Amino acid sequence: MSAKRMTLEARNSSDVSGLSQAVRSLRFAAGLIVLALPLSGCGTGALWDKFMAKDDTFVEEPADKLYNEGLYMMNQKKDPKAASKKFEEVDRQHPYSDWARKSLLMSAYSFYQAGDYDSCIGAASRYVTLHPGSPDAAYAQYLIAASHFDQIPDISRDQGRTEKAINALQEVVRKYPTSEYATSAKSKLEAARDQLAGKEMAVGKYYMEKRDFTAAINRYKSVVTQYQTTRHVEEALYRLTEAYMAIGINGEAQTAAAVLGHNFPDSRWYKDAYNLVKSGGLEPSENQGSYISRAFKKMGLG
């Protein structure tokens, strides 16, 4: 065998031996690491926990500081969402303080300003439940009503939210009749009732087009008996005149026209009702026993 070949074989043997030794060293080191991990009782575990732990240190802030920061975000920064977080933090960190009571109401107001009506209703409802005797309970109840009112849909859609608004607004008037919010609640209440009357009129006209006069009469009847103070009542009385004439119940048609003329003599709807009754050879004539007549007398309008 040549010296050169012997030298190469010796070098290769040495390289293999060195590689094997390196692999064994790595395996040994890895074993030491694995053995070290469970040794929590010997200090290594505590050191590992300290190394891996996150800094969850809680720093409690003064209630008045958080509250004033909320006011700053609301008034200066015009950021009601950020303000609501500050007010909620007061309630979280200082739940039994007077600042928490104030912050709960301000949270409701912040949510309202941000257009987060469901959160506003939740916070305001909680305030009314926890602090029913507070001077600010009237405002909390008003925020609930206003949140429902601002979500009233157009008359082509379901009016469930309108009914909730009416109930909440009536609650403001009933519970706090002398408060400054009662006047505004009454105004919103009329608008909400007008919306429901408009919905009834729209459905009534649909039935009239289908020549389902009985169904149409039921819709117009609800406007006359429940929503006499809305702007739709004049047309409802005319439509009742029209529908009753169509099915030959002339007495109710005459009563509807007469009540319309008595309460709204200058209405264009009365002129149409009068001409319609006259075209049938009749005159407007009020039957005092009719539900139409009774509905207006009950309201002091007849």
Which pLDDT does position 60 carry in this prediction? 84
* pLDDT of the residue at 49: 52
Cα angle 180, 184, 189 (rounded to 5 degrees) comes to: 135
Residues of the chain with pLDDT under 70: 1-59, 298-302
Q: In the chain, how long is the greatest CA-to-CA distance?
A: 140
57 to 52, 54, 94, 151, 267: CA distances (angstroms): 15, 9, 18, 42, 73
Report the C-alpha gap between 101 and 94 in whole angstroms.
10
Two tokens, residue 110 = 């912040």
Amino acid found at 127? Y
- Please give the Cα distance from 66 to 245 (Å, whole number): 69
Burial class (CB in 10 A: 0-12, 13-18, 19+), 290: middle
What pLDDT is stored for residue 76 in this prediction? 95
Cα(187)–Cα(165) distance, integer angstroms: 12
pLDDT at 246: 97
Q: How far apart are CA 302 and CA 247, in angstroms?
A: 26
Position 15 scores a pLDDT of: 44
